[in-house]
Structure 1
Amino acid sequence: MNTLIHPTAVIDPEAEIHPTVEVGAYAAIGPQVKVGPETKIGDRVTIDGWTEIGARNRIFPGAAIGLEPQDLKYDGAKSFTKIGDENTIREYVTINRATGEGEATAIGDRNLLMAYVHVAHNCEIGDGVVIANTVQLAGHVRIENRARIGGVLGIHQFVEIGELSMVGGMSRIDRDVPPYMLVEGNPSRVRSLNLIGLKRADLSAEELRLLKKAFRILYRSDDTFAESLAQLNLLPDLPYLAHLRQFLHESVKPHRRGPIPGRRRGRSERD
């Protein structure tokens, strides 16, 4: 008998659970689930569907992972939930599997999802992301590495959140959040660079100087946003700046929701 598994836990015999996994009281784990070494699953956690969970994760009581998506298009297709290593998933977090055949809801490594976070179908979360309490991610949301999401807010479907950005609590996020920016409000606006996050990321002095210059071009100039994007192409091709430029060029494409605007001195924020 595995003494790491509480006797009241219900684990399907076909589930692949590493011998070092701890499972709490009244947890329920379905037949297609795979859980890696040293992961701790708390009381009354439910894990179902085609779900893969890596090593050294901590899943707190009441979380529900891998259940069917809350999507009327879902027809029972074989879709996945994939969670990496060393994540902390707090009480009553819900993570739904993807909608379409072969698709996945994916979470990387070393993320913190605080209590009552909802991650809907087909979301993608990178590494080192912190999402505070009661954040609701609609379907197909994508969050890049090391972003910080404040509490009690909703993120519209198909929105993308850039790396090392900061979203203030109780904001309304219905468009893309550019990398490295601090965004907050309802309606949300880009307020400044996320300077604290950037300094913690150990950017070089030159990279930080160029990002400050890019911010002034984008949000403090008299040019239209399209003209400002063109000016970004003239700046040096350092990695952080190149990523900001690529993110914004993709965000303004017709099929995307477009970037959240900021305060500008002159003409319209968008053409």
Structure 2
Amino acid sequence: MNQPLAYVHPGAKIAKNVVIEPFTTIHNNVEIGEGTWIGSNVTIMEGARIGKNCNIFPGAVISAPPQDLKYQGEETTAEIGDNTTIRECVTINRGTVDRMKTKIGKNCLIMAYSHIAHDCIVGDFCIFSNNSNLAGHITVGDYVVLAGLTAIHQFCSIGNHAFVTGGSLVRKDVPPFVKAAREPLSYVGINSVGLRRRGFTPEKIREIQDIYRILYQKNYNNSQAIEIVEAEMEATPERDEIIMFTRNSSRGIMKGYSGNY
């Protein structure tokens, strides 16, 4: 990297084979891994930790201070895993004293104009479509897909392999393996297309469907449904993941769809 039209603070740690295009600014206390490309007019602020072979497109702002009045200037980070692509004008704020970091996993695609606020933890292989907006303190699992214009309330959780349809307002937790749609956001089935693409067998998909039929289609409350699932369904990693997510949900999981809305 030898770009005279970019500003790189002497305190930044830039690995070999990093390309930094003109008019980009990289602040102090930044680390960037090998093979990463930083486009023009990108701002990377203090506390950024960017992995290997990432692509960051023009206009992105990484590791800006949190938009949180409680933030007192504590030294926190915004971490981006290897092989992740950040498209145009994405903003990712660093953490606060709550989690001390905002973290995006490996092999993610964060599309243009998305915002990921302070203290969000995002897993690996996630796709956030254009204008996805995450408030603070959100937890997102692996292989989650957010369609365009999705907005997620602070402190919500999204389970592994979930799909959230475009234009959704996410106010409750979204369990793993499901499709979420409609307004208010509701369970509309499992993410069978995504699960097949990732190698889930037909038998495993049917198992997950059977669990969610008990949770969402038998008119039980969550506690009753979980007791029945534990009593009647064979213990598997997927069954236990659904049970633990539902039990540990601090905001409560989204409801099943009803034509009465």
- Determine the C-alpha separation between the residues in 1 that align with 2:5 and 2:124: 33
1:159 is matched with: 156
- Determine the C-alpha separation between the residues in 1 that align with 2:9 and 2:198: 43
2:107 is matched with: 110
SS in 2 for 1:206: helix
- Determine the C-alpha separation between the residues in 2 that align with 1:131 and 1:183: 15
Summarize the Cα distance change of 1:259–1:101 in structure 2 as closer, same or farther, 3 Å threshold.
closer
1:230 is matched with: 227
TM-superposed CA distance for 1:51, in Å, is 1.4
Q: 1:129 aligns with which of 126, 130, 136?
A: 126
1:22 and 2:16 are equivalent in the alignment: no
Q: 2:240 aligns with which of 239, 242, 246?
A: 242
Contact 2:132 2:149 survives alignment (8 Å): yes
SS in 2 for 1:191: strand
- Determine the C-alpha separation between the residues in 1 that align with 2:82 and 2:2: 20
1:39 is matched with: 36
Summarize the Cα distance change of 1:227–1:178 in structure 2 as closer, same or farther, 3 Å threshold.
same
Amino acid at match of 2:82: D
1:6 is matched with: 3
TM-superposed CA distance for 1:101, in Å, is 7.6
- Determine the C-alpha separation between the residues in 2 that align with 1:9 and 1:30: 11
Contact 1:23 1:40 survives alignment (8 Å): yes
SS in 2 for 1:226: helix
- Determine the C-alpha separation between the residues in 2 that align with 1:64 and 1:171: 25
Amino acid at match of 2:27: G
Structure 1 length-normalised TM:
0.92
Amino acid at match of 1:112: L
Q: 1:261 aligns with which of 228, 232, 255?
A: 255
Report the RMSD for the aligned CA atoms in angstroms. Answer: 1.4
TM-superposed CA distance for 1:41, in Å, is 0.2
1:269 is matched with: none
- Determine the C-alpha separation between the residues in 1 that align with 2:98 and 2:211: 41
Contact 2:98 2:119 survives alignment (8 Å): no
TM-superposed CA distance for 1:264, in Å, is 6.6
TM-superposed CA distance for 1:80, in Å, is 1.0
- The one-character-per-residue Cα deviations of 1:149-190 (angstroms, maximum 9, x if unpaired) are 011121000000011110000011011001011001221111
Amino acid at match of 2:20: V
Amino acid at match of 1:173: V
TM-superposed CA distance for 1:223, in Å, is 2.1
SS in 1 for 2:227: helix
Number of equivalent positions: 258
- The one-character-per-residue Cα deviations of 1:182-209 (angstroms, maximum 9, x if unpaired) are 0012211111111101111212333222
Between 153-162 and 256-265, report the one with greater CA deviation.
Answer: 256-265
Summarize the Cα distance change of 1:5–1:169 in structure 2 as closer, same or farther, 3 Å threshold.
farther
Amino acid at match of 1:238: T
Q: 1:206 aligns with which of 203, 207, 212?
A: 203
Summarize the Cα distance change of 1:15–1:157 in structure 2 as closer, same or farther, 3 Å threshold.
same
- Determine the C-alpha separation between the residues in 2 that align with 1:116 and 1:264: 33
- Determine the C-alpha separation between the residues in 2 that align with 1:122 and 1:102: 6
Find runs of 4+ consecutive structure 1 residues off by over 6 angstroms.
none
Unpaired stretches in structure 2, ≥5 consecutive residues: none
TM-superposed CA distance for 1:85, in Å, is 0.1
Amino acid at match of 2:253: P
- Determine the C-alpha separation between the residues in 2 that align with 1:102 and 1:135: 22
Structure 2 length-normalised TM:
0.96
- Determine the C-alpha separation between the residues in 2 that align with 1:222 and 1:239: 25
Amino acid at match of 1:34: E
- Determine the C-alpha separation between the residues in 1 that align with 2:98 and 2:183: 36
1:188 and 2:185 are equivalent in the alignment: yes
